[in-house]
Amino acid sequence: MFTIGDFARHGRVSVRMLRHYDATGLLRPAHVDPVSGYRYYSAAQLARLNRIIALKDLGFVLQQVRDIVEEKVSADELRGMLRLRRAELESAMVAAGERLVQVEARLRAIESEGHMPTNDVVIKSVPAVRVAELTATAASFEPEEIGPVIGPLYDELFRRLGSAGVSPTGPGVAYYEDAAEGGGKIRVHAAVQVSAPPQEGAVRILHLPPLEQAATIVHHGSMDTMLPTAQILARWIDANGYQLTGYPREINLECPEDRDDWVTELQAPVTRA
């Protein structure tokens, strides 16, 4: 038999946690001295403790842990719970990774403050292009809201184009506008250049109007790291006496399998302030 302190050391948990498990009935001592009140545990109880800790680390609440270790759930139910929890953890890892990318992008934007490009930004006119597109609404223009919307849109767009026998003839063009319902929502357009005539169907084919004057800059890297480049462009526009007249378009010039090697041109419609 082990004292509570020794059992805690062998189980790599705190004495406070063992007292909590005792109070909730999750793991009671094998013996309690009736005079001193000292708790004693057996080596066999380490197996139950290990299961409790593992299930807690998976995110189960204490009632779920109790039901599992006391075999109040079937093997099939347990497998289902574990699969669901695994999916939740995988999703959380993806979300954490995406947040980390955005934090790094913010840091790079901060580091670039005060560094005004001399030749990175070009003012030019952009001709009209024919595109096929799908649209959806994002909750805001924040990267974490746009990314989950535009990615699936492009996947579906290329699937429908393939089914319709329509081949892209130029780069992808992502563009944005305020959604009709307001509230900061954004209408996201996932488009790609095509030669097919304008039509409505599985995808909408239309002429994207020209930009008489656009401030442009080329970004190298994934779209998740676009922020510093976009803010360099914004500072240049302000410093050179221009003002934005709409959301910048994103022209995917090169899209290899490795997203870190992507090349994208930002085209911000501007006018003289």
Q: CA angle at residue 45 from 40 to 46, to 5 degrees?
A: 110
The distance between the two most distant Cα atoms of the chain, rounded to a whole number of Å, is 91
Determine the length of the chain.
273
Q: What is the pTM of this model?
A: 0.63
H/E stretch holding 273 reads: none
CA distance 104 to 112: 12
* Residue whose structure tokens are 């030749």: 119
Give the Cα separation of 223 and 250 in Å (integer). 9
Structural tokens at position 190: 């996932």
Going by the DSSP 8-state scheme, the letter that residue 63 receives in this structure is H
For 179-204, write each residue's pLDDT tens digit: 999 999 999 999 999 998 877 778 89
Per residue in 112-169, pLDDT (tens digit) is 666 655 558 999 999 999 999 999 999 998 888 898 999 999 999 999 999 988 999 9
